[in-house]
Every structure is written in structure tokens, then in C-alpha cells.
Amino acid sequence: MKHPKHERTLVLIKPDAVQRSLIGEIIKRYEQVGLKLVAMKFLVPTEDHIETHYTLDPAWRKVTGEKTIKGYVDKGLEPPEKDPHKVTEALLTKLKKYMTSGPIIAMVWQGAHAVAIVRKITGSTEPLMSDVGTIRGDFVLDSYQMTDSDGRSIRNLVHASGSVKEAEQEIPHWFSAKELIEYRLVQEQILYDVNLDGILE
């Protein structure tokens, strides 16, 4: 089995975060925890690229539709649709509009438990519910209630892979093998070295 320090995850800094001048702040949070940046690009994605990104997992349409319907039911609200696939189709249309509205940054971060650590720092999907101290909790105030009445996607600043399997599908969708840079970061010695030798002279 590979050492956990080799785990990688995909992060997208979404158009709203770029417009709100949060690029540096967001990168800082992943950087300061000890993760290593292994790839980065600045681009305006196409709608096709975004649709493929969200549907890399063939179960995504069903799972996200069901999760969204459950969200309405749990709040005592009537879901807009009963068919999970129709719910997801409507989400996807709005996501494509949102994600292609301006430039974004795509990045790959590597380090021990990169997927879970990045999700923790990022916070939960709906900013209204995201914990204080997370990116979504600290820098944005959006809610499903507002996005539903305004007919748009939730603006939550960042996308981060939801699982190791998702990361393994998403990274090659955004980066070629050549764009992922293999290098040593000096701090890895302190984060991962078992003996911490070589500090004292």
C-alpha cells in the first residue's frame, strides 16, 4: 500500500472566489496545513468540461438527486421534482452557467489524507451550514433557500474532490500526467520523517 503522504486531491477555485479576490487566501489555507501543490492552471472552462467533471461518476446524477430531495424533505419542504435525475439535470444546467462565468483555478494538492484534509478546510457544501474557520464558513453566506428562489447554483467558492476515488477520476480530467510535477518539498522532512534527524548540528 502507498504511504498516505502520496494522496492527491483536485481543488477548483470557482469564478466567485476569483471575483472576490480570494485566490491567495484560499491557496494559503491549503498551503499552511502542509499540503504540497503539484499542479495549477488558470482557465475559463467549457460547459462540456464542467458537465463531464460532475458526471465522471456514473452514480452522481442519482446520488446527488436523492441527496437534494432528502434535503428538502428534512426541512419539511416540497421538492421541486420527485425524479432524482430531473433534479440533478436542473442542478447541472445551473452549475455549467456558474462554472463557465469567468476564470477559475484548477489545482492538485498532495499530502497525507489530502482528500479529507482539504474537505475539512473547505467546509460543507451549503455556506449557511459550513463551520466557522472553514473557507466556505468564513468567506461566503449563500444558502439553498436563496439559490432556489433566485434559480442559480450555490456560490461556495471552491470545489474539492469528495473521496479518493473521485480525486483519481477528477485529476486526469483536468491535468495530463506531464502537468503533475513530482518534486520534494523541504517541509516534508518535518511532516513525514520518522526520526527527525538532521535538525541538530
* Cβ atoms within 10 Å, residue 116: 16
Coil, strand, or helix at residue 160?
strand
**38 binding ligand GDP? (CB under 6 A):** no
Residue 79 within binding range of ligand GDP, rule CB under 6 A: no
User: CA 46 to CA 115: how far, in whole Å?
Assistant: 25
130 binds, among Mg ion, ligand GDP, none (CB under 5 to 8 A by kind): none
CB of 122 to Mg ion, least distance (A): 10
Residue 13 backbone phi and psi in degrees, to 5 = -90, 110
Which option in Mg ion, ligand GDP, none does residue 88 bind, with CB closer than 5 to 8 A by kind?
none
Q: At closest approach, how far in Å is the CB of 200 from ligand GDP?
A: 44
> Does residue 148 contact residue 24 with C-beta atoms inside 8 Å?
no
Q: Is 64 in the site for ligand GDP (CB under 6 A)?
A: yes
Which residue's CB comes closest to Mg ion? 162
Nearer to Mg ion, 71 or 162 (CB): 162
Q: Is 47 within 8 Å of 96 (Cβ atoms)?
A: yes
By annotation, the residues acting in catalysis are 159
The residue among 152, 98, 154 whose CA lies nearest residue 126 is 154
Left, alpha or beta for 76 (phi > 0: left; psi -120 to 50: alpha)? left
Three-class SS of residue 11?
strand
Asked whether position 147 contacts ligand GDP by CB under 6 A, the answer is yes
Among the listed ranges 18-26, 37-45, 64-72, 180-188, the one in contact with ligand GDP (CB under 6 A) is: 64-72
Tell me the chain's radius of gyration from C-alpha atoms: 18
Part in contact with ligand GDP (CB under 6 A); list of ranges 15-23, 62-70, 100-108, 179-187: 62-70
Residues that bind ligand GDP (CB under 6 A): 64, 67-68, 71, 91, 95, 125, 144, 147, 153-154, 156, 159, 162
